[in-house]
Amino acid sequence: MGTLIFATHNENKVKEVASVLKHRFEIKSLSQIGITQEIEEPFNSIKENAIEKARVIHLLTGQDCFAEDTGLEVSVLNGEPGVKSARYAGENRDFDANIDKLLANLEEAADRSARFVTIICLIRNGEQQIFEGECKGTIIAKKRGTGGFGYDSIFVPDGDNRTFAEMKMEEKNNYSHRKKAVEKLATYLQLQP
């Protein structure tokens, strides 16, 4: 079984991705390989930040690795919080504060449609590949559920009436932006010699 480094400190993301790839690859998070430093997300696009994170970790380790960046894009807010999703309410990346700010900004909104977008950047044998996944849904007015992370408790994916935070991880994976991007990554890797 091959090993891939996943350039993240977010253990929720590691669990979600490892649950998709577990029979095919051993996934190692940054903490598992002894990297504790925060990886910067300096750019104004999800794709550029995913590429940057993968490049930094590839430079540090010299090993095959991938990074992902995700944003929640709300239609009536012209795609915000988008690339700013992690720091929507301020630099300290507070999930609850981000949700409160988003709900306040949507108080009067009739259109509550949104989508999660995930971009994965893989660097394998020094070559870069990009994979994308999206999940469309609705932002509800009040948090529901205790599972997951980030904006999960206010996002109901199209085709269901539960929030991501009310689902088991496997159920979230039936809809998830991240799962769709990871499946594309897995398919690509399987086709490689």
List contacts with ligand IMP (CB under 6 A): 10, 69-70, 72, 85-86, 95, 98, 116, 148-152, 164, 178
With respect to ligand IMP, which residue has the nearer C-beta, 66 or 164? Answer: 164
Q: How far is the CB of 131 from ligand IMP (least distance, A)?
A: 14
With respect to ligand IMP, which residue has the nearer C-beta, 2 or 40? Answer: 40
Angle of CA points 62, 187, 115, to nearest 5°: 95
Query: Contact 119/69 with Cβ under 8 angstroms?
Result: yes
DSSP per position, 48-78:
HHHHHHHHHHHHHH-S-EEEEEEEEEEGGGT
Task: Indicate which residue of 64, 69, 94, 158 is catalytic.
Answer: 69
63: left (phi over 0), alpha (psi -120 to 50) or beta: beta
- Number of residue whose CB is nearest ligand IMP: 150
Chain-centroid distance, C-alpha 88: 15
Q: How far is the CB of 57 from ligand IMP (least distance, A)?
A: 14
With respect to ligand IMP, which residue has the nearer C-beta, 4 or 46? Answer: 46
DSSP per position, 167-192:
S-HHHHHTT-HHHHHHHHHHHHHHH-
Q: Is 152 a catalytic residue?
A: no
- Antiparallel, parallel or unpaired: β 25-29 and 65-74: unpaired
Q: How far is the CB of 140 from ligand IMP (least distance, A)?
A: 13
Q: How far is the CB of 33 from ligand IMP (least distance, A)?
A: 19
With respect to ligand IMP, which residue has the nearer C-beta, 2 or 158? Answer: 158
Q: Tokens standing for 66?
A: 């991938």
Residues belonging to the active site = 69
